[in-house]
Amino acid sequence: MANTYSQIYIQIVFAVQNRTSLIGHSWEEELYKYITGIITNKDQKLLAINGMPDHIHIFIGMKPTCCLSDLVREIKKASNSFIKESHFCPLGFNWQDGFGAFSYSHSQLDSVIGYIQNQKIHHQKKTFKEEYLGFLEKFNIEFKNEYLFEWFED
């Protein structure tokens, strides 16, 4: 759209079904590259991507013409097929329903990118459940426990 100017930065977070640790270290980079391609082909700007065996963080610069729910649905659907077709996960793989989306200002870019790049270090001290509930509280998002991710308790 001509004469449309925006600055929209969104961190997207979603989990493997039942929060099972299925994303393998040996193929996570291939998964991230594949998701990067989806985001690029949808004309959005990837700023950072990383995760843990049970969840993923994606940070994008989003254009106002983008429907976030449609983008996340496409990322999940296509990457789920990619994982299955590549035979990365012999146990079967699915993403859990739902996602978190958190907005940031331009001044927070470096901080959020660093946070996502350091997921492995960050999660030595905090579980995904603690992290996710922390996001909901920090951003003052009302939620009902029964609609949150299904948490797999060890």
In sequence order, what DSSP letters do the residues of 87-134 get, joined into one string? T--TT---BPS--EEEEE-GGGHHHHHHHHHTHHHHTTTS-HHHHHHH
Per-residue pLDDT of the chain (154 residues; tens, 9 = 90+): 577 888 999 999 999 998 789 999 999 999 999 999 999 999 999 999 999 999 999 999 999 999 999 999 999 999 999 999 999 988 889 999 999 999 999 999 999 999 999 999 988 888 888 898 889 999 988 887 776 666 555 4
State the CB neighbour count (10 A cutoff) for residue 144.
Answer: 6
CA-to-CA distance for 132 and 129, rounded, in angstroms?
A: 5
Residue with tokens 């060890």: 154
Q: Treating both helix axes as pointing N-terminal to C-terminal, what angle do 28-41 and 68-85 enclose, rounded to 10 degrees?
A: 140
Tell me, which fold does domain 9-147 have in CATH?
Answer: Alpha-Beta Plaits (3.30.70)
pTM for this entry: 0.89
